[in-house]
Amino acid sequence: MTQSNSQMYEETMPIKVLYFASLKELFGRSEQQLSIDGLSTVEDVWRRVSEGYDVSQQVLYSINQEYAQADSLVKSGDEVAFFPPVTGG
């Protein structure tokens, strides 16, 4: 028996979330394991972990060490990283 699409997306998916630079200091952790339900985007993950920190504060994202957009889909087992823009001098 096969599952319907709606049933497939109700599964809990483990992901790893990483924080870098000032975000690591802000949240007091460098990484965490997270279970997400169904289809989620990077922005959905950010809202869940950000403790109310506004995403408009120039946060960059990556999925599995490749730059991503806020609407990029996150899959089971993915590594999602959040970091501030890098500036040079």
Confidence of residue 4 (pLDDT cuts 50, 70, 90): very low
pLDDT tens across 57-77, in order? 688 999 999 999 999 999 999
**Domains delineated in the chain:** 5-83 (3.10.20.30)
Taking alpha carbons only, the member of 68, 12, 23 closest to residue 80 is: 68
pLDDT tens across 13-58, in order? 899 999 999 889 988 999 999 998 878 999 999 989 987 777 656 8
Question: Is 63:78 a contact under the CB 8 Å cutoff?
Answer: yes
pTM: 0.80
CB atoms within 10 A of CB 61: 21
